[in-house]
Amino acid sequence: MDDILEILEGNARTSFEDLAKLTKRKLKDIKRIVKQYEKKGVIIKYRTMINKEKLHSERPVVALIEVKVTPQKDVGFDQIAERIYRFPEVKSCYLISGTYDLLLTVEGKDIHTVASFVAEKLAPLSSIKGTVSHFMLKKYKEDGVVLVKKERSSRLAITY
C-alpha cells in the first residue's frame, strides 16, 4: 500500500503539509494524489473512531449475525447482500467462506431491537435459509486499535 494511504489510514486528520513532510514529496503532488484516490474511490470516507464503551450515555447493542443464503441465478449473492445491507440496522455486510455466506454487523438500541430486526426483517426474506446471532459483550481491539487500557493496581506489593 502507498505510504500516503498508510499514514491517512492511521490518522485521517493528517494535513497535506504533514503528508508532504512525512513522505518527502511536494505539497502539490500530495494534493493531486489524494484527490485522485478520492475520485477513484480508493479513499471512500474520512472517519473518527469512537470508543462507545467510554460514553456514559446508552450504548447500542451490537450483534454479529451469520446468514445462510440461497444464491440467486446469474447474480449469486450480490442481490440479496444489497437488499440486506440497505437496512439501516446493518452497519457492515461481508461475503465469507465457511458454513455461512454473509456476516453482518447489526446495531440496535437494545437486544429486543436487534432480535426484532432478525425476526421481522431478515429471516422472512425468501433467500435466507438460516441465521446465527452473536451479541457483542466487550470490544478489546477494533481496526487495529486497542480499546482497553490495562489498569495499574493501586495496591502495594507484598514482600517478605
3-class DSSP string for the chain: CCHHHHHHHHCCCCCHHHHHHHHCCCHHHHHHHHHHHHHHCCCCCCCCCCCHHHCCCCCCEEEEEEEEECCECCCECHHHHHHHHCCCCEEEEEECCCCCCEEEEEEECCHHHHHHHHHHHHCCCCCEEEEEEEECCCCCEECCEECCCCCCCCCCCCCC
Number of CB atoms found within 10 A of residue 69's CB: 20
Q: 152-157 — which CB contacts under 8 Å span 24+ positions?
A: none
Q: Which three cell numbers stand for residue 110?
A: 437494545
**Residue 160, pLDDT above cutoff 80:** no
* Entry pTM: 0.75
**pLDDT tens, residue by residue, 1-47:** 789 999 998 889 999 999 999 999 999 999 999 999 999 999 998 88
How far apart (Å, rounded) are the C-alpha atoms in residues 112 and 118? 10
How far apart (Å, rounded) are the C-alpha atoms in residues 85 and 95? 11
pLDDT for res 31: 94
**Residue 57, pLDDT above cutoff 80:** no
Q: Which three cell numbers stand for residue 133?
A: 446471532
More confident: 57 or 37: 37
Q: In CATH terms, is domain 58-137 a member of 3.10.20.30?
A: no
pLDDT for res 153: 65
How far apart (Å, rounded) are the C-alpha atoms in residues 111 and 105? 14
More confident: 73 or 49: 73
146 pLDDT tier (thresholds 50, 70, 90): confident
Q: Average pLDDT in the 49-74 region? A: 85
pLDDT for res 52: 74
Which strands form 102-108's sheet, in the order they lie side by side? Answer: 90-95, 102-108, 61-69, 128-135
What are the start and end residues of each CATH 3.30.70.920 domain in the chain? 58-137
